[in-house]
Structure formats: C-alpha cells, structure tokens
Amino acid sequence: MKKENINIHKNLKIIGLVAKNGENIAVIEEFFASRGIEILVEKNSAKKIGKKGFRLDEICKKTNFIISLGGDGTLISTCRQVVGKDVYVLGIHDGTLGFLTDIKMNDMQSFFTQFFAGIYEIERPLMLDVVFKKNGGKNIKRVAFNDVVITRNTISSMSKVDTYLNGKYFNTYYGDGVIVSSPAGSTAYNMSANGPIIYPLSNVFCITPICSHSLTQRPLVLPNEHELSFKNVDENEVAIVIDGQDVFDMNKFDEVCIHLGNTHANLIRHLNRDYFSVLKEKLHWGHNGGKA
C-alpha cells in the first residue's frame, strides 16, 4: 500500500484521545486547548483521571482524528475498534519499546507544528480478516492488526491443526502452534518465532510455525489473494488469539479462515518516515560496524 497525503489538519476542531495511562492526558488537553481544539477522552481512559469520557463510537461521529497515547498495544486496539470508519490514528509513544508509535511526548510540539502546516503522511497497512465458521450457526468476523495465533491452550498439551490453502488441504501443524501475521505485524510475535520481516505496506502475509515437532516446517510468505483456513484435529485444547487481545476456543468452531483483504488502518506519520531506520534502531543493526 502506498503512503498518501490527506488534508486532515484543515478546520480541525475536535480530536479524540485513547490513553493507556492518565498522567499525560492533561498535558495533551492543555496543548490543544491553546490552539482552540477540544479533546474528547475515551471513557476507559477518562476513568484514569476521574472523568466520565466518551464512547469511541461517539468520538468517531464528531471527529476523524484520534490520538493513541501509549505503546503499540494501545495503537493496535484503537485501530481495530475504528476499522471501517473514516478515522485516522496518530500514535504517541508513552509505553514500552515498539515499532508502531514513532512520536514521543517531547516531540509532540514539533510534530504538530509540521502537522498543521500539512507536513505529514498517511500510511494504510493492510489488516487480516478473520472469520470463525460454525455449521448451522452465525459466522463471527474479526480483524487483526498484527497477527492471529493458533496455539495450545495448556502447557501439557500440543496443538495439531489441519491447514487449507484456498480450500485445498495444505499442511498439518503439530507443536506449540502457528502464527498468521500481517505485514505490519511481522516484527511482533512472528519475528520472535523466527518468521520473516515484511515491509509493513506490502500486499503479502505470512504463516510461521511455533516450535514445530517437525524440522521440515518453515515460515511461508503468501500474496494477499490467498486464504488460509484451519481446523482442529482430534479436538485438542487449542486457542485462537487475535493481536494478543481477544481469545477464542477453537473447539467451538468448525473452521477459522484468515486472509489479507482490503481492510486497512489509517495511520498518521511523520513525512518521509524511514521504516528501515526504525528497524536499524530497534534491532540495533550495524552498531558494531559490521564486525561479527
């Protein structure tokens, strides 16, 4: 997906705010109040400072700009909740080390000086569409920003899932589980499991086994027109975890289908943000001058 320029900054009167912690909410409110902009704090975030706040769907009816104040998890949760709406999300870093939130609190003033001058970009990373199917029942649809993890539910058991590619049997994964990762999520759990790092605006996704009981199992990168589906084998205790936030019991469904569709997030970024410089910084590449 390409980066885009959109005039979000023009005639901006209201901004929504989702915050992991409450300590910087007042700082942000004061910063924008001096510019004549009202901050609508999401209700769970507002509780942290003893205020009432607003539901996120209410905020989305009043503005198309939301600030996510926290780490990558806060940004991911916010993007998932506003998916399908014409809403743009800016991540301000106020959490642990991550790849998604590149603006720090002490960079806020300099960033918004550029922002209100129209100097910024929009990134639209594709998200995973997830469909839980039950024969005779209603399908459940979800989206994943980073990944869908199919994993053993207890430490004393293994997961064993049959995998289908575009409706045809493809593989059986037996071990600790399997990760289906979006391009933006490739630097999360997928990377920890030795999966490939994918440029986040690519039109591909990947499947990575977790501690497989077969040495021949390897990560696989797929183009976005392909669909993966998974079925539990022998009713093992297997969980399906979306972005580390939503958990489902695989035994309650006949099949789980995952593909990289047209669903995307809308992220506000620094102009000409260099993803590869972020990789170099976060992963400490090149710090020894190329010496082993």
Q: For 189-231, what is each residue's pLDDT tens digit?
A: 999 999 999 999 999 999 999 999 988 999 999 999 999 999 9
Is residue 287's pLDDT more than 60? yes
**Res. 3 pLDDT band, cuts 50 70 90:** low
Q: In the Cβ-directed half-sphere of 138, how many Cα atoms lie within 13 Å? A: 2
Exposed / middle / buried, residue 92 (Cβ in 10 Å: 0-12, 13-18, 19+): buried
When pLDDT is averaged across residues 252-279 and rounded to a whole number, the result is: 93
Can you give the pLDDT at residue 182? 98
Query: Higher confidence at residue 5 or residue 138?
Result: 138
Alpha-carbon Rg of the chain, whole angstroms? 20
- Residue 207 CB neighbour total at 10 angstroms: 27
Pick from 210, 165, 163, 206: nearest CA to 185: 206
When pLDDT is averaged across residues 131-145 and rounded to a whole number, the result is: 94
Can you give the pLDDT at residue 102? 79
When pLDDT is averaged across residues 267-276 and rounded to a whole number, the result is: 90
Cross-strand partners of 73: none
Can you give the pLDDT at residue 291? 55
Can you give the pLDDT at residue 43? 97
Q: Are 132 and 139 in contact (CB under 8 A)?
A: yes
When pLDDT is averaged across residues 59-88 and rounded to a whole number, the result is: 96
- Residue 69 CB neighbour total at 10 angstroms: 29
Distance CA 270, CA 108 (A): 11
Is residue 292's pLDDT more than 50? no
Q: What percent of the chain has pLDDT over 90?
A: 80
Distances in Å between the Cα of 195 and the Cα atoms of 109, 124, 218, 221 are 37, 22, 8, 9
**What end-to-end distance do the CA atoms of the chain give, in Å?**
35
When pLDDT is averaged across residues 84-95 and rounded to a whole number, the result is: 91
139: helix, strand or coil: coil
The DSSP annotation for 239-256 comes to: EEEETTTEEEEGGG-SEE
Helix 108-115 to helix 25-33 angle (10° resolution) is 40
Q: For 32-42, what is each residue's pLDDT tens digit?
A: 999 999 999 99
Q: Are 205 and 182 in contact (CB under 8 A)?
A: yes
Residue keyed to tokens 């885009």: 4
Pick from 151, 128, 136: nearest CA to 227: 128
Active site residues: 72
**Res. 136 pLDDT band, cuts 50 70 90:** confident
Is residue 1's pLDDT more than 50? no
- Residue 158 CB neighbour total at 10 angstroms: 15
**Res. 135 pLDDT band, cuts 50 70 90:** confident
Angle at 130 between CA 127 and CA 136, to 5 degrees: 160
When pLDDT is averaged across residues 253-280 and rounded to a whole number, the result is: 93
What is the pLDDT of the chain when averaged over all its residues? 93
Is residue 98's pLDDT more than 80? no
Please report which residue ranges of 56-207 form alpha helices under DSSP H.
Answer: 56-62, 72-81, 108-115, 189-192
Distance CA 110, CA 117 (A): 11
Amino acid at 30: E
